[in-house]
Amino acid sequence: MALVDLLDRLLNGGAVLTGDLVLSIAEVDLVHINLRAVIRSITSDEPSPW
């Protein structure tokens, strides 16, 4: 499967990406970041909500 095909499937169905990032020194958490992103294509049939 080519990368273009994978991206086409991903954008047609949509995807939610989540992740956590923790920066620490000497086992002491200094920064904790939660990341969440929704990836979906926008078409004229289904316009963006904004």
Q: Is residue 15 part of a domain?
A: yes
What pLDDT, on the 0 to 100 scale, is given for residue 26? Answer: 92
Asked if residue 19 is part of any domain, the answer here is: yes
**Six-digit token string for 39:** 């990836």
- Give the domain range for residue 34: 3-39
Distances (CA, A) of 30 to 10, 20, 21: 34, 13, 11
Please indicate, yes or no, if residue 46 is contained in any of the structural domains: no
Burial of 50 from C-beta contacts in 10 A (0-12 / 13-18 / 19+): exposed
The DSSP 8-state label assigned to residue 49 in this structure reads -
Tell me the two tokens of residue 38.
Answer: 């929704």
pTM here is 0.46
Point out the residues of the chain with pLDDT beneath 50: none
Q: Does residue 35 form part of some domain? A: yes
Per-residue pLDDT at 50: 62
What is the domain count for the chain?
1
